[in-house]
Amino acid sequence: MTSNNNQPLSGDEMPRFGGPATMMRLPTADSSRDLDACFVGVPLDIGTSNRSGARFGPRQIRAESTLLRPYNMATRAAPFDSLQVADIGDVAVNTFSLQDSVKLIESAYHQILSDHCIPLTLGGDHTIVLPILRAVHGIHGPVGLVHVDAHADINDAMFGEKITHGTPFRRAVEEGLLLCDKVVQIGLRGTGYAADDFDWPREHGFRIATAEECWYKSLSPLMAEVREMMGESPVYISFDIDGLDPAFAPGTGTPEIGGLTIHQGLEIVRGCRSLNIVGCDLVEVSPPYDLSGNTSLTAANLLYEMLCVLPGVNYR
């Protein structure tokens, strides 16, 4: 049973290695008009502090998404039954100017959100979440945040710059874009500049679940706590692939050992079901460091899982 909505191209109509490599082999659309949700790429990596390459993330995530089928066997979600979804392509960033790119991204997302379309973003480095959250704030006001990452991304500045992939959530707090008592950061770990690096978010009311707190555990209880925390508030999901362990996701710019497992990543996203989600992203995939393609494959699957928990999705 399928609806008249857009459907991913079936492997029975065109072999999975053929045809256009849109996200999930969905139809493309020129804009977000009349869509309930869209996949959109932001091929930007000029905000990175170490390895670059995330500019190739959207293209490679799309390529690895061609194996995805429409029905979620684990959760029984059938997102294309009830949602009209398309791949609207990439935001035309200015690769010679981070400042200009940030403006271009905010403007593109303002349009998507004004169309009442939920963006599912293929990054791109984590800088892009700042203009996205600015646009989200313009439509929804301040939002709750589920942030998966090895890093808190709350630096005040990097090399003197206020806008980088390590600063977006500091700026978001300063600009009032977040409901600080409804922010959870999951998977934080690694070395820091100071012992209290993770205390700044705690002092601002964030719930921190370090990687060590997550080791050896199911994250379902944590996500029950997160759902309680979020209530009916609008929520944004920002998933930095380096939250996962580099054994699973080596293709990223700032890898940290001792990270989350694939299973925990799935539990986090699936645990967001029933939340009032207004946007999602999957960032920091760097295909030049993803020799097996597994990082992009994981990213594609996590983006699909995000689609499966959006408000209005049917479950069979």
The residues of the shown chain that bind Mn ion, judged by CB under 5 A, are 126, 149-151, 153, 240, 242
Nearer to Mn ion, 139 or 262 (CB): 262
Q: In what order do the strands lie in the sheet with 234-240?
A: 85-90, 37-42, 118-123, 276-283, 234-240, 143-148, 178-188, 207-210
Identify the residue whose tokens are 């964030």. Answer: 206
Nearer to Mn ion, 80 or 236 (CB): 236
Looking at residue 244, the DSSP 8-state letter turns out to be: B
Q: How far is the CB of 198 from Mn ion (least distance, A)?
A: 13
CA distance 43 to 78: 29
Q: How far is the CB of 127 from Mn ion (least distance, A)?
A: 9
Q: How far is the CB of 71 from Mn ion (least distance, A)?
A: 31
- Report residue 46: phi and psi, to 5°: -85, 10
Q: How far is the CB of 81 from Mn ion (least distance, A)?
A: 33
Q: How far is the CB of 150 from Mn ion (least distance, A)?
A: 5
Contact assessment for residue 200 and residue 154, using Cβ atoms and an 8 Å cutoff: yes
SS3 content of the chain, % helix, strand, coil (to 5): 35, 20, 45
Q: How far is the CB of 278 from Mn ion (least distance, A)?
A: 20
Nearer to Mn ion, 72 or 121 (CB): 121
Nearer to Mn ion, 32 or 127 (CB): 127
User: Which amino acid, one-letter code, is at 204?
Assistant: H
Give the list of residues 6+ apart from residue 259 with CB closer than 8 angstroms, or none. Answer: 150, 187, 189, 211, 242, 243, 244, 245, 246, 248, 249
Nearer to Mn ion, 77 or 93 (CB): 93
Looking at residue 260, the DSSP 8-state letter turns out to be: B
Nearer to Mn ion, 88 or 285 (CB): 285
